Amino acid sequence: AASRTARMSDNQRPVMVSPFLNFDPALINVNQGNEQQYIFAEGGQGRGRFERAFSAIGGCVLGGVSVGGARGLYSGLTDAQMNSLSSSTLRRSHLLNHMVRSGGSLAQTAGCIGLFYGIYDFTLSKARGDVDDNANTMAASVLTGLTYKLPGLLSGDRRAGLMGLARGGAAGLVVGASLVALTTGEGARRLLGGD
């Protein structure tokens, strides 16, 4: 049986040697200090708007599938046809069909909204000279709401389309203001009841 052996390194700290690999793991751990282990672009720290867009899209998709799945579960449980199914296997399959259909539909819609928001946010940031502030968030949210409701304007009744466009812009404004309130330090403290 192999046993672990300790040896003393140059700075007199005991280092464990792996008995299974006959290899000292300290040889590959170059970063012994408190230095950062990430490589950032010259002159910048952290992720930019483009990298954050991918997280926003993924979050929208996950939120959409969660809410859509819950909505599908509710509609499946309240469906009148559910009680007429003879076996538990058929009921389970019927319920899962409701959940997957509703969850997938809402996830696709939310993912598209997240994609448009990310595109607008990144484009506005680049157009303003890489400015990263709350004005980009607000403008991208309003533009996303307008884009989401734009097909209603093009489909037929012009007045109803304009009303839908106004509602989409207003919804974008509310969501953008909520994002700014949650991500700004003072707004978050105020919302959470801090000083």
Q: What is the DSSP secondary-structure string of the chain?
A: ----EEEE-TTS-EEEEBTTTTB-GGGT----SS-------TT--S--HHHHHHHHHHHHHHHHHHHHHHHHHHHHHS-HHHHH--SHHHHHHHHHHHHHHHHHHHHHHHHHHHHHHHHHHHHHHHHTTS--SHHHHHHHHHHHHHHHHHHHHHHS-HHHHHHHHHHHHHHHHHHHHHHHHHHSHHHHHHHTT--
In this predicted structure, the answer to whether residue 63 has a pLDDT above a threshold of 90 is yes
Residue 27's pLDDT is what? Answer: 66
pLDDT digits (tens, 9 = 90+) for 138-169: 999 999 999 998 888 787 788 888 898 899 99
Q: What is the DSSP secondary-structure string of 47-62?
A: --HHHHHHHHHHHHHH
The answer to whether 93 touches 81, Cβ cutoff 8 Å, is: no
Residue 179's pLDDT is what? Answer: 84
Residue 136's pLDDT is what? Answer: 87
Question: Using 50, 70 and 90 to split pLDDT, how confident is the model at 33?
Answer: low
pLDDT digits (tens, 9 = 90+) for 72-90: 999 988 888 887 888 889 8
